[in-house]
Amino acid sequence: MKLSAMLGSIRQNKPLIHHITNYVTVNDCANITLCIGASPVMSHALEEVEEMVGHAGALVLNIGTLDPYQATSMLLAGQAANNLDIPVIVDPVGAGATSYRTDFMQRLIEELEISVMKGNAGEIGVLAGADAHVRGVDSGDVNGDLHRITQNFAHDSGITIVMSGATDIVSNGRQIITIKNGHPMMGRISGTGCMATSVIASFVAVSRNTAEASAAALAAFGIAGERAAAVTSGPGAFKSALFDQLSHLTPAELATDAKIREL
């Protein structure tokens, strides 16, 4: 499916994206999902997560403010999604910063079929077993070839891995795709990583080619960031403009302005 067709399908079909996510960025993730053209639901109650995920086109699990209750919700929803062949997109926020987060991420990898995992270089590096460090929820140092770390982790885990950064890297274990859309201002506000995961889930909901869908989502989000930075001068205005620019992005513009390359 071409980039333009994927965005057009989101806008036409408005897939429901079920989020079990962190309370810092939950509203931003809901709004960015609406801006790309999908429909968000933010539900973590044990009594309904299995039923709710049955209505969804994709499930997002984000461990940014992980606690035992939320962990149980994620496992229940993830298992239900697997049983229904609904893609699961995981954001390992802060994995590597504490053993609690790292251990829980290893449990998700072992117990669920994950379609896409999107994290920064430190998070992905730690989970891949590379020499990597994480500070709080920020990426630290990673030693080694980032492209190969991403590809090898994808190959060994069977998960499409997205390593975010100035240049985003996507691999399904065979392909290595880079995306160079985006702007430094995106790092000046909290939540852009979480929002990117919601956009990825929206694309994966309409295309089971998870590597191409992830690349298309990152390009769309990055283009919106570029355009928002061009019309604003500070982080507050930039955040509002980011939502506006993503909602205005057309399928044709995505196809024209995406800076995607397969290595």
- Res 49: pLDDT: 97
Which whole-number Å values give the CA distances from 70 to 3, 76, 119, 157, 251, in the listed order?
34, 10, 19, 24, 36
- Res 116: pLDDT: 98
Contact 197, 36 (CB under 8 A): no
- Res 97: pLDDT: 86
Over residues 164-179, the mean pLDDT reads: 96
Reference 9, options 225, 198, 206; nearest CA is 206
Quick one: pLDDT band at residue 131, thresholds 50, 70, 90?
Answer: low
* Residue pLDDT, tens place only, 185-210: 999 999 999 999 999 999 999 998 99
* Residue pLDDT, tens place only, 39-63: 999 999 999 999 999 999 999 999 9
Over residues 85-96, the mean pLDDT reads: 95
Quick one: pLDDT band at residue 81, thresholds 50, 70, 90?
Answer: very high
Which domains, and CATH codes, for the chain? 3-262 (3.40.1190.20)
Provide the terminal-to-terminal Cα distance of the chain, rounded to the nearest Å: 19
Residue 141 has pLDDT above 90, yes or no: no
* Residue pLDDT, tens place only, 210-257: 999 999 999 999 999 999 999 999 999 999 999 999 999 999 999 999
Quick one: pLDDT band at residue 2, thresholds 50, 70, 90?
Answer: confident
pTM: 0.95
Average pLDDT, whole number, for the chain? 94
Q: What are phi and psi of 168, to 5 degrees?
A: -80, 145
- Is the dihedral angle over the CA atoms 88, 103, 140, 243 positive or is it negative? positive
Over residues 55-78, the mean pLDDT reads: 97
